[in-house]
Amino acid sequence: MTFDRSLKIAPSILSADFANFGLEIQAIEDQGCDWVHVDVMDGHFVPNLTFGPPLCAAIRPHIKTVMDVHLMISPVDQYIEAYAAAGADYITAHVEAGAHTHRTMQAIRATGAKAGVALNPATPAGEVEYLLDMVDMVCVMTVNPGFGGQKFIHSQIEKVRQLRAMIGDRPIHIEIDGGVTPETAPLVVAAGADVLVAGSAVFKGGSVSNPAPYGENIRAIRAATVK
C-alpha cells in the first residue's frame, strides 16, 4: 500500500448488521468508504466482547479496500499472528495493553501487516514518541474504548496536534476512533488526523436493502472537513 495523507473514512462494522457482514461491507464500500474498521474486544481490556480471528478470516474476502483491525485486548502479542493470518492489513494494539509495546510493534510488522499503536484518552501523546520510527499509524481514542455511540472527548484534539508535530514528515497516519460525526470530523482533521473511524455516524438510517444513507453519511463527514 502506497502511503498518502488524503482523508480516509473507515466505518466500524461494530455498528453493522451482524447477520449480514458480507453485504454490509459491500454496501459501505460501494457507497464510498476507504477502509473497513474491525473493533476487536476481549471483555477484559475493555468491557465488551466482539470478534475473533475466524470472523476476520470470514469477512476478508468481502473487503476490497483495507482491513483495519483494532485490537482492544490484553495480552495482545499471542494473537497478532492469528489476526495477520486472517488478512488484516493494519493491526493496531494499545500502548496500555502490555509492558513491551516496542516488542508488540515489532511482532506486528514481522507478520507483514502495518503496525498501529493506540492511545486511550488519559494516555499522553509522549507515550508513543519512541515508537514513531516503527509504526505506520497512531490511533487516538476520542472515547473510552469498549462501546460504540459514545460522546466525543474534546480534550483529545490537542493530543492530535501534538502527535502531528511529533510525527513530522514520517509516513504515519493519525486515526481517530470514537464520536466521529460531521461536527467533530473537521476539528480533528484540522489538528492533523487523516483516518476517521465512524460507526453509528455511517450506519445510521441505512441497511443492506437501503444502503444509500451510508453514502450520504460518508459524504457528509467528508464534506464537513473541506474548508
Known catalytic residues are 39, 177
With the C-alpha atoms ordered 118, 122, 128, 130, is the resulting torsion angle positive or negative? negative
The CA-atom distances, in angstroms, between 193 and each of 86, 142, 155, 207, 217 are 27, 12, 14, 28, 19
The CA-atom distances, in angstroms, between 34 and each of 10, 67, 114, 221, 225 are 6, 10, 16, 13, 15
Of 182, 225, 176, residue with least CA distance to 201 = 182
**Do 218 and 33 touch, CB atoms closer than 8 A?**
yes
Q: Which three cell numbers stand for residue 187?
A: 476539528
Cα-based torsion angle of the residue sequence 50, 214, 26, 210 in order, rounded to the nearest 10 degrees: 110
Q: Which three cell numbers stand for residue 103?
A: 516488542
Report the DSSP pairing between strands 8-11 and 195-198: parallel
**C-alpha span between 101 and 133 (Å, rounded):** 13
Helix 212-224 vs helix 21-30: crossing angle, to nearest 10: 50
